[in-house]
């Protein structure tokens, strides 16, 4: 642990040593723009830090002011960075690359969000510890097929409904731990950071092949602890709808087809299948066109009664879209500088460093950019460029444990706080819309994540990433 | 003045202007959920909702919002647990759950919450 803090501290201290426009030396590989001859001034990391700090504090300390202004702030900070790159560094490539990646990212999230909002699942069985464990396990598995966002949106309402007579905050907290975060660690569809890795060249099935054993242990431990919590809940579920004919009813089942289309579309990429035409210089491809089309069609054909029952609102996806355009643009300098720094400090960077560093930052910052930052750092250690798919593939063959540590750290630690991963806040918000008093930001951490998650994550470090 | 049963049976509307909602019956509010805000403090010092008890109707001001129509989508409800005026507030069976939907021309649809709408009292 000391090593981790040492590296983090020296990294941030060393940032100040750079001067504007320092020439990229022989041993420097930038994360973006292969042809770029200049590193950005470290001060340009500030818009990224400011934006992440505002995202962390805004919804908690000045909610309504933040709600009214977050989109302006995000775009303004993003444009500031764009202006710097184009105006001062004359570097279009880095900006173009980020915009392309953003469009892919938002296309996936939007299509999953819209398709899941048009489906209503009704469960008509009594909640009990065993059924809840099976439900959460099911959620953990399908979050790899429809994303943690899709699975959270789809399953939180039935989960609340089946537990309505015995509702206590721990039920929602474990839902966030298992379905909104840890569960989705097996495929690039599962969690946004893994999708970003896929876009950069990590093979689709690499994650499940390399993370499955870690996933199994984490999910088993979480479900076991949940079971003990749930056993102590003495309130019994009473209500089962008298009209219910089946234990599970799905309304809007046609939208499950849309999920299948979205998943298939993930592979519609010239890098995966060479016969797929590239639409370059447009900043999107056929995959993104398919995903956005699915989003529009699923909403246009949705049953209004289902939308009403799901209390459908564009606000969550609008928020993600606005915030992430800011994040993707402002994080360009951070990516480039981290790649450079990791070469300087490469001898200190171990798998444990990457596991804890990615995890620590993913707990408070969004885990998608954190994953990219540390992937960039790990590749920089070997003189490789995160922007080149061939380099990413080569990096995996060098030593897969680094990418495994980063993947696990980014996905798992997203559960540590409400702000660690997008679905956490959505689930909290839906639960509160249902009238459930959720724990505050700090209570969540102190009472649940530090006492339950941290010991599990420490055990995982001990078993897999101690080196 | 209408009773809540009459309002629901006759499908009478409330109205919404800016952050103000007018409901055509009188009641004691117990809990209001708007978006992710859960409001249970209806005292004068509270910044959540100001309740103005009019002669024949209920007047609610959502103080944290400028225009409710800017905040709530067509599918989102304001959910309220209430006890109608004149009924015993201490009798659990008198606690009713309603959902308010903003529609066009400032109208507010008032519905008793059905099984699909999640609302934990």
Neighbours of A6 (CB within 10 A): 13
With CB atoms and an 8 Å threshold, state whether A304 touches B31.
Answer: no
Of A64, A304, A435, the CB nearest to B64: A64
- The Cα of B41 is separated from the nearest Cα of chain A by a number of Å equal to 14
Instruction: Inform me whether the pLDDT recorded for A252 exceeds 50.
Output: yes
Average pLDDT, chain A: 84
Residues of A in contact with B119 (CB under 8 A): 434-435
- Confidence label for A242 from pLDDT (cuts 50, 70 and 90): low
Residues within 8 A of B (CB atoms), A 134-193 only = 157, 160-161, 164, 167
Return all residues near A90 (Cβ < 8 A) that are at least 6 apart: none
Question: What DSSP designation does A348 have?
Answer: G
Q: Tell me, rounded to whole angstroms, the distance of Cα A354 from its chain centroid.
A: 17
A164 closest CA partner among B116, B78, B91, B121? B121
Residues of A in contact with B115 (CB under 8 A): 241
The predicted-structure confidence for A135-155, as pLDDT tens digits, reads as follows: 999 999 999 998 898 899 889
H/E element, B61 = strand B58-62
Measure the CA–CA gap between B97 and B121, rounded to whole angstroms. Answer: 8
- Whether B85 and B28 have beta carbons less than 8 Å apart is answered as yes
Task: Report in angstroms the alpha-carbon separations of A246 from A108, A249, A250, B39.
Answer: 32, 6, 10, 36
Residues of B in contact with A429 (CB under 8 A): 35-36
A345-354, A361-370, A378-387, B34-43: the lowest-pLDDT one? A361-370
With CB atoms and an 8 Å threshold, state whether B77 touches A311.
Answer: yes
Measure the CA–CA gap between A459 and A440, rounded to whole angstroms. Answer: 27
Measure the CA–CA gap between A66 and A51, rounded to whole angstroms. Answer: 12
- The Cα of B32 is separated from the nearest Cα of chain A by a number of Å equal to 8
**DSSP-assigned letters across all residues of A4-57:** HHHHHHHHHHHHTT--TT-B--TT---SS-TT--BPPPGGGGHHHHHHHHHHHH
- Report the b/e string of A211-226 with b at 16+ CB within 10 A: beebbeebbebbbebb
Q: Which two tokens stand for residue A351?
A: 């798998």
Which is it for the CA torsion A311, A317, A320, A326, positive or negative? negative
The predicted-structure confidence for B99-116, as pLDDT tens digits, reads as follows: 999 998 899 999 998 777
> How many residues are listed for chain A in this entry?
467
Instruction: Inform me whether the pLDDT recorded for A350 exceeds 80.
Output: yes
With CB atoms and an 8 Å threshold, state whether B120 touches A160.
Answer: yes
Of B36, B101, B115, the CB nearest to A433: B36
Interface probe, candidates B68, B118, B119, chain A, greatest A C-beta count within 10 A: B118
Alpha helix positions (H), A267-366: 286-300, 304-309, 315-344, 351-364
Q: Which two tokens stand for residue A209?
A: 């092949």
Residues of A in contact with B77 (CB under 8 A): 311
With CB atoms and an 8 Å threshold, state whether B37 touches A432.
Answer: yes
Residue A268 CB-density burial (10 A; 0-12 exposed, 13-18 middle, 19+ buried): middle
Return all residues near A205 (Cβ < 8 A) that are at least 6 apart: none
| CA angle (A175 as vertex; A58, A310 as ends), nearest 5 | 75
Across A83-101, average pLDDT: 91
Residues of B in contact with A435 (CB under 8 A): 31, 33, 38, 79, 118-121
Chain A's closest residue to B119, CA to CA, is: A434
- The Cα of A458 is separated from the nearest Cα of chain B by a number of Å equal to 34
- The Cα of B86 is separated from the nearest Cα of chain A by a number of Å equal to 25
- Whether A413 and A359 have beta carbons less than 8 Å apart is answered as yes
With CB atoms and an 8 Å threshold, state whether A433 touches B31.
Answer: no
pLDDT at position A11 is 39
Of B36, B72, B117, the CB nearest to A432: B36
ipTM score of the complex?
Answer: 0.81
Of A120, A305, A435, the CB nearest to B79: A435
Question: What DSSP designation does A93 have?
Answer: H
With CB atoms and an 8 Å threshold, state whether B118 touches A432.
Answer: no
Query: What are the sequence ranges of the domains in chain B?
Result: 4-112
With CB atoms and an 8 Å threshold, state whether B75 touches A433.
Answer: no
> How many residues are listed for chain B in this entry?
121
- The Cα of A153 is separated from the nearest Cα of chain B by a number of Å equal to 14
pLDDT at position A243 is 58
Kindly compute the dihedral angle of the four CA atoms of residues A342, A344, A346, A352, in this order, to the nearest 10 degrees: -50
User: Which carries the bigger pLDDT value, residue A332 or residue A178?
Assistant: A178
Interchain CB contact of A436 with B (< 8 Å): yes
With CB atoms and an 8 Å threshold, state whether B36 touches A160.
Answer: no
- Whether A435 and B79 have beta carbons less than 8 Å apart is answered as yes
The predicted-structure confidence for A34-57, as pLDDT tens digits, reads as follows: 444 488 999 999 999 999 888 878
Q: What is the pLDDT along chain B (121 residues), one digit of tens a residue?
A: 888 889 999 999 999 999 999 999 999 999 999 988 889 998 888 888 999 888 889 999 999 888 898 888 888 899 999 999 989 999 989 999 999 999 988 999 999 987 777 788 7
pLDDT at position A149 is 86
Instruction: Inform me whether the pLDDT recorded for A338 exceeds 60.
Output: yes
Residues of A in contact with B121 (CB under 8 A): 435
Measure the CA–CA gap between A409 and A185, rounded to whole angstroms. Answer: 10
Chain B's closest residue to A160, CA to CA, is: B118
Query: What are the sequence ranges of the domains in chain A?
Result: 2-464
Residue A275 CB-density burial (10 A; 0-12 exposed, 13-18 middle, 19+ buried): exposed
- Whether B19 and B62 have beta carbons less than 8 Å apart is answered as yes
Instruction: Inform me whether the pLDDT recorded for A255 exceeds 50.
Output: yes
Interface probe, candidates B116, B117, B119, chain A, greatest A C-beta count within 10 A: B116
With CB atoms and an 8 Å threshold, state whether B73 touches A313.
Answer: yes
User: Which carries the bigger pLDDT value, residue A174 or residue A317?
Assistant: A174
With CB atoms and an 8 Å threshold, state whether A312 touches B75.
Answer: yes
Residues of B in contact with A309 (CB under 8 A): 116-117
Q: Which residues of B touch A (CB under 8 A)?
A: 31, 33, 35-38, 64-65, 72-73, 75-77, 79, 101, 115-121
Q: Which two tokens stand for residue A246?
A: 């089946």
- Looking up tokens 């915009």 gives A99
């Amino acid at each position: 642990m000391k090593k981790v803090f040492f590296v983090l501290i020296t990294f941030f201290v060393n940032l100040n040593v750079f001067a504007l426009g320092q020439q990229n030396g022989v041993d420097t590989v930038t994360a973006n723009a292969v042809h770029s001859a200049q590193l950005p001034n470290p001060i340009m990391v500030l818009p990224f830090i400011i934006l992440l700090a505002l995202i962390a504090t805004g919804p908690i300390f000045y909610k309504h002011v933040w709600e009214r202004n977050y989109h302006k702030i995000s775009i303004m900070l993003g444009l500031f960075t764009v202006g710097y790159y184009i105006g001062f560094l004359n570097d279009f490539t880095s900006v173009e690359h980020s915009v392309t990646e953003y469009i892919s990212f938002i296309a996936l999230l939007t299509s999953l969000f819209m398709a899941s909002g048009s489906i209503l699942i009704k469960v008509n069985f009594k909640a009990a510890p065993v059924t809840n464990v099976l439900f959460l396990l099911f959620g953990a598995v399908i979050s790899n097929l429809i994303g943690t966002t899709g699975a959270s949106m789809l399953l939180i309402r039935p989960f609340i409904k089946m537990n309505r007579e015995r509702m206590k905050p721990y039920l929602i907290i474990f839902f966030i731990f298992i379905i909104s975060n840890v569960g989705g660690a097996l495929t690039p569809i599962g969690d946004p950071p893994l999708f970003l890795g896929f876009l950069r060249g990590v093979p689709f099935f690499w994650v499940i092949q390399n993370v499955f054993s870690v996933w199994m242990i984490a999910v088993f431990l979480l479900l076991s602890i949940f079971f003990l919590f749930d056993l102590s809940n003495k309130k019994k579920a009473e209500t089962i709808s008298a009209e219910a004919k089946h234990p599970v009813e799905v309304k809007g089942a046609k939208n499950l087809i849309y999920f299948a289309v979205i998943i298939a579309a993930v592979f519609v990429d010239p890098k995966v299948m060479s016969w797929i035409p590239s639409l370059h210089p447009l900043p999107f491809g056929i995959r993104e066109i398919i995903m956005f089309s699915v989003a529009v069609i699923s909403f246009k054909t949705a049953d209004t009664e289902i939308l009403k029952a799901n209390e459908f609102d564009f606000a969550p996806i609008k928020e993600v879209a606005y915030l992430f355009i800011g994040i993707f643009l402002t994080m360009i300098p951070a990516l480039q500088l981290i790649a450079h720094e990791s070469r300087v400090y490469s001898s200190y960077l171990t798998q444990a460093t990457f596991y804890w560093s990615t995890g620590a930052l993913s707990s408070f910052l969004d885990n998608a950019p954190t994953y990219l930052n540390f992937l960039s750092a790990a590749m920089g250690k070997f003189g490789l460029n995160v922007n080149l798919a061939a380099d990413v593939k080569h990096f995996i063959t060098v030593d897969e444990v680094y990418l495994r540590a980063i993947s696990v750290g980014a996905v798992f630690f997203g559960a540590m706080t409400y702000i660690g991963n997008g679905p956490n806040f959505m689930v909290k918000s839906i639960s509160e819309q249902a009238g459930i008093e959720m724990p505050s930001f700090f209570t969540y951490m102190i009472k649940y994540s530090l006492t339950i998650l941290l010991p599990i994550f420490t055990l995982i470090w001990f078993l897999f990433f101690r080196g | 003045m209408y009773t809540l049963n009459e309002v629901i049976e006759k499908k009478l509307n409330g109205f919404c202007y800016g952050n103000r909602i007018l409901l055509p019956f009188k009641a004691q509010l117990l809990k209001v959920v708007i978006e992710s805000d859960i409001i249970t403090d209806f005292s004068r010092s509270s910044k959540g909702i100001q309740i103005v008890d009019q002669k024949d109707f209920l007047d609610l001001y959502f103080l944290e919002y400028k225009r409710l129509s800017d905040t709530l989508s067509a599918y989102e409800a304001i959910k309220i647990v209430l006890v109608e005026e004149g009924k015993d507030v201490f009798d659990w069976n008198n606690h009713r759950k309603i959902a308010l939907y903003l529609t066009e021309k400032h109208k507010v649809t008032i519905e008793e919450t059905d099984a699909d709408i999640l609302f934990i009292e």
